[in-house]
Structure 1
Amino acid sequence: MTAWAQTLTGRALDFAEPTIAREHLFGEVAHGLATVNRYAGQLAMPLSVAQHSVMMAEAAFDETDDVELAAFCLLHDAHEAYFGDWPSPAQEAVGEAMARQAVSAGINALAAEALRIRHRRGIAEVKATLDRAVMEAAGLSYTRFQMRGAEVHEFDVRMLRTERDALMPRPPRAWAAVIEGARRLVVRSNPRFKCWAWPEAEDRFRGALARLCPLTEPAALTA
């Protein structure tokens, strides 16, 4: 038996072989991302993954006029509708704990480090499996999504830097060098960086999905 989760619509999502249809993008994914908070909720006002994704997609389109890139930016975190937004530092902390436990159990340090790497790869595999299903549902090429991964990641880091500077107190320590060196993004639709309530974030995500992924069915907006 593989791991599964019950979704908003009451169906079972099998993580090993997830089934995601077009209507699920407008329903389960849009709602899930709108109600999942970034940064483990450690902000004065909640910032949803849906808002992060919409603003990142808008900024990417404004800079590049590239619809495909904007669509990939919109959906790059869509797996978090089912997986949740597990902050990278927390993921690393679990990996480090696994390595320490392995050493305490008598496993050599090299093998313990390999265990930590396997943990990271396992998370990446689950996310990638969900990403493939999402891209296919949106009428996008998963292969193209992988090929353009570096571009998407660059905008993701720049969006993170923009969010941090707009919404967080002064950091007590420097963040990763790639974040500290990232250029901030300009989001014309939200220059003062207002955090949207989840119903607005859900609606805006659905609207962006309909605009950027033309193979999705507008009728699904009522699903």
Structure 2
Amino acid sequence: MTWILTRSGKRFDLQSPSAKMVDAADIAYSLGQLCRFNGHTGAFYSVAQHSIIVADLVPAEHQLQALLHDAAEAYVGDMASPLKKMLPEYRQIELRVWHAICAHFHIEPELAPCVQDADLIALATERRDLMPAHPDAWECLAGTQPMAARITPWSPTEATTHFHYRLLDLLATTHRARAAA
């Protein structure tokens, strides 16, 4: 078996994902339930909330891609980055899922540089606000400053709701812009 059953009752094939298998509500729900850092934060903090923060940090034309930049985790889970780097086959599966998501939402699979930068700013802020103090440097954050604002974690329900409404709003804006072109 290479497929999972999503909350909406859809079958999502991890070996051969397609755009038609992707569901916005499934992504919102799953990311709202999924805790960042394998749950090693001081309070529950979801991938959905992280994604909203990243979207808030980029220009309007990149917000949909920023909001969805971790959407594959709704189907494959949020694996710790050091472990993910050790499992190249996992990365390939995640990449196939990402491409199906991009096809579904009509976004470019290659993350815009501003999205990559915003993801690091969010990570630096999460480290400061949500992780235990520790002297070791995170090499990926060299030269990256956290946001001035502090993160107040949302409940899974709040994160799911905010993410879903933000996604629907961005999709409406994107589709209006496409129709006007």
Separation of aligned partners in 2, 1:19 and 1:216: 21
Return the letter of the residue paired with 1:84: G
Separation of aligned partners in 1, 2:75 and 2:117: 24
Return the letter of the residue paired with 1:80: E
> What is the aligned partner in structure 2 of residue 112 from structure 1?
none
After superposition, the CA RMSD in angstroms is 2.3
> What is the aligned partner in structure 1 of residue 94 from structure 2?
127
> What is the aligned partner in structure 2 of residue 137 from structure 1?
104
- Pairs within 5 Å for 1:82-161: 82-92=75-85, 95=86, 119-120=87-88, 122-138=89-105, 140-141=106-107, 144-146=108-110, 148-161=111-124
Return the letter of the residue paired with 1:57: A
TM-score by length of 2: 0.85
Give the conservation status (yes or no) of the 8 Å contact 1:35–1:198.
yes
Greater C-alpha radius of gyration: 1
Corresponding residue SS for 2:12: strand
% identical aligned pairs: 29
Separation of aligned partners in 1, 2:164 and 2:146: 25
> What is the aligned partner in structure 2 of residue 101 from structure 1?
none
Give the conservation status (yes or no) of the 8 Å contact 1:161–1:180.
no
Give the conservation status (yes or no) of the 8 Å contact 2:98–2:109.
no
Question: Cα gap change, 1:67/1:145 in structure 2, threshold over 3 Å: closer, same or farther?
Answer: farther
> What is the aligned partner in structure 2 of residue 38 from structure 1?
36
Report the number of matched residues: 175
Give the conservation status (yes or no) of the 8 Å contact 1:22–1:216.
no
Question: 1:87-109: CA deviations, max 9, x gaps?
Answer: 112334xx3xxxxxxxxxxxxxx
Question: 1:174-211: CA deviations, max 9, x gaps?
Answer: 111x313212235xxxx331100011101110111122
Q: Tell me whether 1:206 sits opposite 2:174 in the alignment.
A: no
4+ residue segments displaced more than 6 Å: none
Question: Cα gap change, 1:72/1:137 in structure 2, threshold over 3 Å: closer, same or farther?
Answer: same
Deviation at 1:125, TM superposition (A): 1.9
Separation of aligned partners in 2, 1:127 and 1:78: 10
Q: 44, 53, 56: which is aligned to 1:55?
A: 53
Separation of aligned partners in 2, 1:18 and 1:216: 24
Q: Tell me whether 1:181 sits opposite 2:143 in the alignment.
A: yes
Separation of aligned partners in 2, 1:200 and 1:74: 16
> What is the aligned partner in structure 1 of residue 73 from structure 2?
80
Deviation at 1:130, TM superposition (A): 1.2
Deviation larger for 148-157 or 202-211: 148-157
Q: Tell me whether 1:71 sits opposite 2:64 in the alignment.
A: yes
